[in-house]
Structure 1
Amino acid sequence: MLTYYRYLITVFRSWTTSIMTYLRSMSWREFKFAMRRKKYVVAEENSKLAKVLTTLDLTALGIGSTLGVGVYVLAGEVSKKYAGPAVILSFLIAAIASVFSGLCYAEFGARVPKAGSAYVYSYVSVGEFIAFIIGWNLILEYVIGSASVVKGLFTYIDSLSDEVMSKWFREVMPMNVDVIAPYPDFFSLGVTVVFSIALAFGAKESSRVNNVFTVVNLLVVLFVIISGLFHVDASNWNLSKEEVMEGTNNSTEYGEGGFAPYGFNGIIKGAATCFYGFIGFDCIATAGEEAKTPQKSIPIAIVVSLLIIFLAYFGISTVLTMILPYYAQDEKAPLPHMYEAVDWEWAQYLVTAGAVCGLFSSLLGAMFPLPRVIYAMSSDGLLFEFLGRIHPRFKTPFYGTLIAGTFTGVLSCIFELSQLFTMMSLGTLLAYSMVAGCVLILRFDNNNNDLEANFTYVDMLKQMFRPGKKTATNLTAKLVAMEVVLYVCTCFGFAAILSQCNLSEDGALPIVGVAVFGSMALALVISISLQPRSETKLPFMVPLVPWLPALSIAINTYLMTMLEALTWAQCGVWLLIGLTIYFAYGLWHSAENSQSVDDNQRKVSVKQ
């Protein structure tokens, strides 16, 4: 073991020496250019991936990847612990936040119909270094998301079989290590490998299987909503505190009764939890390079899938909380518990079939975008070349799909579900915020070939408070980019105070901080709205720019600040590994590095 650690230290020192030697050979101007170089994207260029996905395929992919086991669990958990019957408002808030992010993704899907999702979007608009960070976080999101889904599938099937698999694994192959699972889960490993092989054989074939699973899942959800209407009792939405105390044996843990027993804070906490039930629609944008008509299909698929997902969550949560009081919900299996309470035990088997199909479609939806992001990054030279090789027959990133699937399977095999879930949300919210910021930057970008190189910060301050430019120039584009960065920083300050402090009890200082950061954020958005805009016309454009993307950033940063410090630390370790790869390999293997273009002439070329 000591020899192994010495080998790792030697490799790390060698990488570090190579990185420092390379960086010393560059001037500061060259290094700054390398970190900020942007990607040229031409919509008409030939793709190595097969363009086989229709609008229906993309919509089913978005629904399948998002509407998984959460629809069978989330409503019961949130209503019992956080929001009560007001869980429908929690889902509404989460849906609005998701729609804001979804509209930003839809615009970029119309603007940049390439595989890679937020990674490519940020590469096009912000630069290579930030794009690598976003892409690296997306890999983490999809790996952990896939491992979590397949682990949930194992847990669900194992519970139905009276824990036969887990008992056998625990007895035959125990692992007595604190940081990993108590036994290896070879079921999850096997399922993940099988699914990765299926995905490697072709996007169209895997989308057909996903369509079947998604249809079954939606039919079961529809059955639950319609059948539940025969047993609803509206009085469960207005229970008095005395009724709650009587139903819970005088327990004080279930709020004050009524429609929102835990108050407004409970609704917001519930919305933060419900938000994760909408994670997954971004896989639609990731599959853009394989869509037949991406400019039209991606916006439609995102909006329609999010609408259907919200209606499903809204209907399920309404039926659940009207049939049973919120405090009587089963957190782990609310729907079977509901049917048991109304003496429809036969319906439990139908719900179980829908849950299994939902898990299968979620697994396909979670695993589908992972090799596409790896393919995009390796094609750009930021990850190792062999990961992006396209199979000549199947037209998929064959090796990247198999390697990513195997890595995901190993994680699901040796870690528990709770250990896998902690890091997924941060990468997702960071990607959503990045895409919204990119929308703002590109909407105010200079596409008039006006170099206007000689301007000062004084000129920028004048333009900020007294806009004199009527058309977008380099000055206005740089000003908006700086304002977007400042806006994100102020949102983090505002959200950190709001989420970590109690404004009614912690004195005047937090209130002053909220007022200062809030005023700064509002002033920055107003200034951005006054700047001249790009004249580029797109098939789909986010409405109410800059207000809607700015609101999306604010909501996402607030949800990020509510995550635990351990989650940030874990993502920090992952980021450190990624930065080592970037500086040791990606920085000088970048495809953009091979193009000898002057810094002032490197403008993003997005041909419609």
Structure 2
Amino acid sequence: MSGERISQSLKQYMPMNVVGLAEYPDFVAAGIVLVISVTESALMANTFTCINCAVLVVIFVTSMIKADIKNWQVDPRNVTDATVGAGGFFPYGLNGVLKGITYCFFALVGFETISSASSEALNPARDIPVSVIICVSFCFLVSTAIALSLTLIMPYYLIPNVSPLSTAFVQAGLPQIMYVVSVGAFCACTSTLMGGIFSISRVVYSMADDGLIFKFLAKIHSKTKAPHMSLLVTGVVTAIIALLFDQNRLIDLTSVAILLAYCSVAVSVNVLRYQRRTIASMPQPVSVQEIRLTNFTTTTLQYKDHLEQETDSPIMARDFLKLCFFPINDLPDANSERIAHGACYLLLIIESILSIGVHLVTLDNPTTIHYAIGGVMIVFGAVFFVILTLIQWRQPQNSQKVSFMVPLVPIIPNLSQLVNLLIVVKSDTQTWIMYFVFIIPSMFIYFFYGMRHSREAEPLHTDRGQ
């Protein structure tokens, strides 16, 4: 918006020549983060969102007027610079597509805000999954529309890393649209930041309330009823990160962290679906919403009777293979739970091997050794992926019903894990170093504080207020 005057001045007078940090301290980004962290406003967020939608419509319609399908059909014979790919519709091949997904995935970051607001929903069991699906679908359509707009009005190899839409419209002879894009970019960044601050503050509050992190972060303001301490701390930390780190590096880091988190969600789906559940007692229905739980209670009592009759004997070696494919019970027992969970954890290793194999054979310039090692890893991983998925499929699943359940378990969770890992392995070494720099202190907090103070270990029937 300022013609890069701010960034150029900071690069000249305040350079930061430190590996892993940005070229200069971004005081503008840090200031915006701090302002937004203390001005949490639904009206402001909704206003910016409406402006974003209007700008997106203008960009898409205008770009379609100037669109040229030839920009998708660059003749490979006319491409002489190796840095701009090989031409055609996929100039960078499969490797480029997988690398690009990491950046494109950042366009979906933010829909987890819906889940963080589940405590404020009227019917979260139904509304949250539906809202997430609608939000992700809308983000997919918008991201696709912007990609179409950008690549149809300018050849891919001329698209700059900084202000690509503004540059594209200037090159297309529509410089006045540049100002519309600038306003939309500012509103988009601001609304995204507001959504992120809202989401992370609620997550931090919930974790503190559960005892996983420090208790003072769960304090609620007496007037606004907002978690002001978590808002303050997350705002300051986010501002420091925005001040010191490069934007593209943070995008890589965010994508890796979220993709690994989604892997853990997929694992959790498998673990919950194949585990034994028993709830000693449940309260009687006292409202219309709780009446819906009566079928759940009946199923729970059936599980209790089943678990009281089963034996918790270990699996004998001679019976192991038989139980893997021919379980003896229709409901999960100790043995089926061990087998299903063991297959689930082994799948993470197998999927990692398979992902590394795909990474090796899709490098920009793979050698014969890369093809040989990668091919062996792909075949090995694919075979055991199918075998372990089949073992999981044969195990009895928990029959308790809830409002929203993932279909086709374990196929969908396993494929989700595999796709996430395929994308993650394309991240560079510096991104992984940054990830571990952030995750190791978090693990220390959890193992030395969270595990001892967690309220999750309290009995389900115990009133936490006592």
> TM-score per shorter chain, which class?
0.7 to 0.9
- Take 2:235 and 2:445, find their aligned partners in 1: how far apart are those partners? 20
Find the residue that maps to 1:198 and give its secondary structure: coil
Q: Which amino acid aligns with 2:56?
A: V
1:118 aligned residue: none
Deviation at 1:542, TM superposition (A): 1.9
Change (3 A) 1:588 1:517: same
Equivalent residue for 1:178, pick from 10, 18, 27:
18
Q: Is the 8 A contact 2:357 2:377 kept in 1?
A: yes
Deviation at 1:315, TM superposition (A): 1.7
Equivalent residue for 1:505, pick from 349, 368, 390:
368
Deviation at 1:484, TM superposition (A): 0.9
- The answer to whether structure 1 residue 195 and structure 2 residue 36 are counterparts is yes
Equivalent residue for 2:333, pick from 468, 473, 483:
473
Q: Is the 8 A contact 2:249 2:431 kept in 1?
A: no
Q: Is the 8 A contact 1:214 1:357 kept in 2?
A: yes
Which string of whole-angstrom CA distances, capped at 9 and with x for unpartnered residues, describes residues 382-430 of structure 1?
2111011122332221111111111211222234435544532222111
Q: Which amino acid aligns with 1:222?
A: V
- Take 1:292 and 1:260, find their aligned partners in 2: how far apart are those partners? 46
Q: Which amino acid aligns with 1:486?
A: L
- The answer to whether structure 1 residue 589 and structure 2 residue 453 are counterparts is yes
TM-score by length of 1: 0.65
1:392 aligned residue: 222
Q: Is the 8 A contact 1:501 1:510 kept in 2?
A: yes
- Take 2:86 and 2:328, find their aligned partners in 1: how far apart are those partners? 56
Q: Is the 8 A contact 1:169 1:185 kept in 2?
A: no
Equivalent positions of 1:13-412 (< 5 A) are 157=1, 160-164=2-6, 167=9, 171=13, 174=14, 178=18, 180=21, 184-199=25-40, 206-242=41-77, 244-245=78-79, 250-412=80-242
Say which structure, 1 or 2, has more relative contact order (CA 8 Å, 6+ apart). Answer: 1
- The answer to whether structure 1 residue 544 and structure 2 residue 374 are counterparts is no
- The answer to whether structure 1 residue 455 and structure 2 residue 313 are counterparts is yes
- Take 1:375 and 1:287, find their aligned partners in 2: how far apart are those partners? 12
Deviation at 1:161, TM superposition (A): 4.8
Find the residue that maps to 1:579 and give its secondary structure: helix
Change (3 A) 1:528 1:576: same
Deviation at 1:504, TM superposition (A): 7.0
Change (3 A) 1:576 1:270: closer
Which string of whole-angstrom CA distances, capped at 9 and with x for unpartnered residues, describes residues 262-286 of structure 1?
3333333333432233233222212
- Take 1:162 and 1:573, find their aligned partners in 2: how far apart are those partners? 31
- The answer to whether structure 1 residue 430 and structure 2 residue 260 are counterparts is yes
Which string of whole-angstrom CA distances, capped at 9 and with x for unpartnered residues, describes residues 107-141 of structure 1?
xxxxxxxxxxxxxxxxxxxxxxxxxxxxxxxxxxx
Find the residue that maps to 2:352 and give its secondary structure: helix
Q: Is the 8 A contact 2:274 2:396 kept in 1?
A: yes
Equivalent residue for 1:493, pick from 353, 357, 360:
353
Change (3 A) 1:320 1:468: same
Find the residue that maps to 1:368 and give its secondary structure: helix
The two structures, once aligned, show a CA RMSD in angstroms of: 2.6
Equivalent residue for 1:572, pick from 436, 446, 451:
436
Which string of whole-angstrom CA distances, capped at 9 and with x for unpartnered residues, describes residues 59-82 of structure 1?
xxxxxxxxxxxxxxxxxxxxxxxx
Change (3 A) 1:423 1:546: same
Please, which moves more after superposition, 555-564 or 266-275? 266-275
Deviation at 1:215, TM superposition (A): 1.6
Q: Is the 8 A contact 1:288 1:298 kept in 2?
A: yes
User: How much identity, in percent, do the aligned residues show?
Assistant: 29
Which string of whole-angstrom CA distances, capped at 9 and with x for unpartnered residues, describes residues 336-381 of structure 1?
2222223221111111111111111111122121122211221111
Change (3 A) 1:275 1:188: closer
Find the residue that maps to 1:542 and give its secondary structure: coil
- Take 2:102 and 2:7, find their aligned partners in 1: how far apart are those partners? 33
- Take 2:349 and 2:89, find their aligned partners in 1: how far apart are those partners? 36
Change (3 A) 1:561 1:427: same
Change (3 A) 1:401 1:587: same
- Take 2:105 and 2:4, find their aligned partners in 1: how far apart are those partners? 31
Gaps of 5+ in 1: 1-156, 200-205, 604-608
1:517 aligned residue: 381
Find the residue that maps to 1:543 and give its secondary structure: coil
- Take 2:196 and 2:6, find their aligned partners in 1: how far apart are those partners? 27
Q: Is the 8 A contact 2:95 2:359 kept in 1?
A: no
Deviation at 1:181, TM superposition (A): 5.1
Q: Is the 8 A contact 2:98 2:426 kept in 1?
A: no
Q: Which amino acid aligns with 1:505?
A: T
Gaps of 5+ in 2: 278-302, 462-466
TM-score by length of 2: 0.83
2:343 aligned residue: 483
Q: Count how many residue pairs are aligned between Structure 1 and Structure 2.
A: 426
Q: Which amino acid aligns with 2:28?
A: F
Deviation at 1:213, TM superposition (A): 1.1
Change (3 A) 1:168 1:567: closer
